[in-house]
Amino acid sequence: MTPYELRFEIFKQAYAFANDKFSIEYETVRCWNENSMNTVKMDYPDFPTYEEVEKLADKINTFVSSK
């Protein structure tokens, strides 16, 4: 595996992690807001930006490279 392929794999893992986190938060808010007993509605989370995914990928890369 080339360094480029490795970095891309790390980026894909960071994206998957951020997407999973978003999905969990979104479903939590959706369930809360659909419950008619809750009078206070929650705001839906923002989808992860490229910058957030890149920052997470850098964090993963630092962890992997330092061990």
pLDDT at 67: 64
Instruction: Look at residue 66 in the predicted model and tell me its pLDDT.
Output: 87
The per-residue pLDDT for 60 is 95
Q: Distance between CA 31 and CA 55 in Å, rounded? A: 29
What is the residue-level pLDDT of the chain in tens, covering all 67 positions?
A: 898 999 999 999 999 999 999 999 999 999 999 997 888 999 999 999 999 999 999 999 999 888 6
Check: CB of residue 50 under 8 Å from CB of residue 19: no
CB 66 within 8 A of CB 52: no
Q: What pLDDT is attached to residue 39?
A: 86
